[in-house]
Structure 1
Amino acid sequence: MSSTDKALGLLFGSDIHHGRAHAGEAVPAGIGTTDVRLLQSGDRDRFIRLHIPVNFQRLKFKPSLANVGTVLNLVTDPDLNPLVLDHADKFLKPFKGRVINRPAAVLGSTRDKVATLLAGIDGLVVPPIARFRGRPALAAAAIAKAGIRFPAILRRTGHHDGRIEGLMADADAVMAVIDPGTTYYLTEFVDGRSAEGLFHKIRIFFFGDRAVVRHRLVSDHWNVHAPDRKRVLVHHPEHIETERRYVEGGIAAMPPEAQRVLAEVRARMPLDYFGIDFSILPDGRLLLFEANATMMFFPVVADPPFGYSAAVVAQGTAAFDAMLAGRGI
């Protein structure tokens, strides 16, 4: 069988799943993954399942890579699945085919490591981040080392979709809520509101060297997320027009400075596919929220007045298919 005739292998698993996956068995995809595979055109059921449970090393029978030409790694959250990612990295070392989002690269994509990786890009504001176990002494040391100023956002590792412990006014507020059995991120808060008092968040997905503008949301609260589309954005036609322009025109529709910064981010990130959340500050600089592979692409709201969002899926499918085909990597 030639390499061009070989199948796509989907690698999935999680640190909370044990045991072998059998043919035809419904196995949960696990926590810490993404839905970008739904962008694939054609028959999405034609693949070889590569299931990596947390006890992978003890399994007597392991998946075969003999008929696999490309592996698409769908284990995307390094905080939730570090053991599975380490097993997958070892499992794939002898593999001669393509691996999209190598597990070792995903392991290096925690919030704090990405902040270190992207720090120093001219025109990009990267707020300091501390990662610590929830013990006061460890928290205090990590906060001091990171040089974090308050207020700051406290969240548990592995939490996304706007889930936070709170916006902390000072270190005492942090110490009052942390739990010794939990690991946290503390991120310095940067007030990015516009002159009209609104906040916004842009999400872009990179598939290889192709970029897809997923959305530009607007909110009256700094923690901008999907429900703000119908709560706030719908009342601001000027911001709807900006989102439409970005979605239809892509990165090329953004200010030249933003394009330059995003190109540098793409060049530095070792992932083949990932999403980035950011805003453009009033002074033109970009404010980084996060960049990783565990972001969700769906659902897409294309009802009026957001009909232009239907283009997002077509653009995402073209970019995703090109990445699978090896174009633009």
Structure 2
Amino acid sequence: MRPEPEAALSHRSVVPRPRCAERIGLARLTRAAEAGHDLRPLWRRLISRLLDGTIEAGEGLDLSVIAQLLGDKEAGLAIQNAILSSHQLFRSPCAAKPPRLRVLALAAATDIGSNTPIEFLLESSGIELTTLYVMPDIDWPDWLPDHDVAMVIASDSEDCRNALDKIADAMTHWPRPLLNPPQLIGNLDRDRLHGLLDGIAGLEIPPTIGVTREQLSLLSQSRLAPSELSSGVSFPVIARPLGSHAGKGLAKLDDAVAVEHYLDEHPQDSFFVSRFVDYRSDDGLFRKYRIVFIDGQPYACHLAIAGRWDIWYLNAAMADSADKRNEEATFMRTFDSGFAQRHRAALAGLSKRIGLDYFTVDCAETKQGSLLIFEADNTAIVHDMDPPDVFPYKVPQMRKVFDAFAAMLHRRAGRRCEAAA
């Protein structure tokens, strides 16, 4: 069933309105956990209400988030599924009353890392956020809350595909500007991204190939060469289980013996494999940059520096090194005239081909000076939770990012108003 949002928005005075459940939200709960607050007392209080049947829908969704933050993803998803089976609309806290703008986020029923964490971008904006969880086996609500702009926040992960298809089917009927169209989100798959970005001047992205366990087994026995998986691939290779995130299961395999050991430790049936690129700098350290694109414009998000190739911000120990933080501060301060200028053509080409209104890229610089792309994502977290006494330079930079995101939403809503006028 397709929704009829135009009619729903136009006749909301005569159509029964399902209540938008109020929630604490992902941003506030994550911020509390990062600050060291013990979420277990709240977990116990809410789980008691869940068990005796008195829990509110918003409390139930918060309980799901808390479970995942405490490390119990399976329980969190089970609670979420139970809540979403009867309620799909949720409102996050808003810093202004009345709100300056209203955004409807279209989400999938998945873990907390597979929808755009949009709350972090809007916390202080005075923009009201309502999230609709699009359920493949549940009809669209007969009524949708009034909003100025909508945004798809589901990812390209396998468990979001049905929700993206359902949103795509409804797009032609949507009465408001809709950001991050679902058909473009699907292009962010690791094995599709190379084909999308290949050939951009100044940009390097190794092909990512989907392989079976049987193929890796043959590779481990030297009965298959890496080049037989894909032209130009040789040891060492990078492997990860299909659908893995945040470096889980990521490994550099130097030879057939390493492949054998990897399979012993990872029971999955499907994997991604790509060519390893040694991107260390002249000082022997590796540098990974996160860039966020907002309405086609790149912004610095972070720089992680470490002596290991499999780097992300949490394992780079940036808080322990003043030299690393000084370099990151310089990267942010000089981004427009430095990094963004050096890779102007590559960044512009990448933004145009991906085409999303909002997304992030994790990347590096090769020894030859090219922009090396690791992945593009619409759900990577962009936040301001780093302690300002340790990272004082991040406060103005993240405010710049958040303001740019809010300004984009206002522009898109304004275009709708101008068109209507």
Fold conserved between structures, TM > 0.5:
yes
Deviations 1:63-100 (A, max 9, x none): 53473442111112333421221122113332132111
Moved more, 34-43 or 149-158: 34-43
Please point out which of 149, 155, 164 is paired with 1:85.
164
8 Å Cα contact 1:276/1:290 also seen in 2: yes
| Whole-Å separation in 1 of the counterparts to 2:352 and 2:218 | 32
- Correspondence for 2:290: 203
Q: Which has the higher contact order (CA 8 A, sep 6+)?
A: 1
Deviations 1:270-291 (A, max 9, x none): 2111101111223321111111
- Correspondence for 1:235: 321
- Correspondence for 2:131: 49
Task: Look up the equivalent residue of 2:236 and give its one-letter code.
Answer: P
* TM-score normalised by the chain length of structure 1: 0.81
| Whole-Å separation in 1 of the counterparts to 2:140 and 2:321 | 57
| Whole-Å separation in 1 of the counterparts to 2:91 and 2:294 | 30
- Correspondence for 2:55: none
Deviation of the 1:233 alpha carbon: 6.8
Task: Look up the equivalent residue of 1:36 and give its one-letter code.
Answer: I
Secondary structure of 2:336's counterpart equals helix
8 Å Cα contact 2:293/2:360 also seen in 1: yes
| Whole-Å separation in 2 of the counterparts to 1:186 and 1:292 | 18
Higher helix share: 2
- Correspondence for 2:87: 21
Deviation of the 1:36 alpha carbon: 3.5
8 Å Cα contact 1:193/1:222 also seen in 2: yes
Aligned pair 1:36/2:118, yes or no? yes
| Whole-Å separation in 2 of the counterparts to 1:260 and 1:22 | 42
Closer, same or farther: CA 222–87 of 1 in aligned 2, 3 Å = same
Aligned pair 1:124/2:203, yes or no? yes
- Correspondence for 1:189: 276
Deviations 1:224-280 (A, max 9, x none): 112344x3574362x433321221333333263322211221121121111011112
| Whole-Å separation in 2 of the counterparts to 1:137 and 1:223 | 21
> Percent identity between the aligned chains?
23
Task: Look up the equivalent residue of 2:378 and give its one-letter code.
Answer: A
5+ residue gaps in structure 2?
1-5, 11-19, 21-60, 62-76, 93-106, 416-421
Deviations 1:140-197 (A, max 9, x none): 7997353222211111233222222421224664466457854321121101111211
| Whole-Å separation in 1 of the counterparts to 2:177 and 2:332 | 30
Deviation of the 1:28 alpha carbon: 9.4
- Correspondence for 1:246: 331
| Whole-Å separation in 1 of the counterparts to 2:256 and 2:174 | 47
Deviation of the 1:103 alpha carbon: 1.2
Task: Look up the equivalent residue of 1:252 and give its one-letter code.
Answer: S
- Correspondence for 2:47: none
Cα-Cα RMSD = 3.6
Deviations 1:126-146 (A, max 9, x none): 112102343438997997353
5+ residue gaps in structure 1?
none
| Whole-Å separation in 2 of the counterparts to 1:207 and 1:113 | 22
Task: Look up the equivalent residue of 1:134 and give its one-letter code.
Answer: R
Aligned pair 1:161/2:246, yes or no? yes
Aligned pair 1:72/2:151, yes or no? yes
Aligned pair 1:113/2:192, yes or no? yes
Aligned pair 1:226/2:313, yes or no? yes
Please point out which of 269, 288, 293 is paired with 2:354.
269
**What is the correspondence of 1:301-312 to structure 2 with a 5 Å cutoff?**
301-312=386-397
8 Å Cα contact 1:79/1:110 also seen in 2: no
* TM-score normalised by the chain length of structure 2: 0.65
| Whole-Å separation in 2 of the counterparts to 1:84 and 1:144 | 36
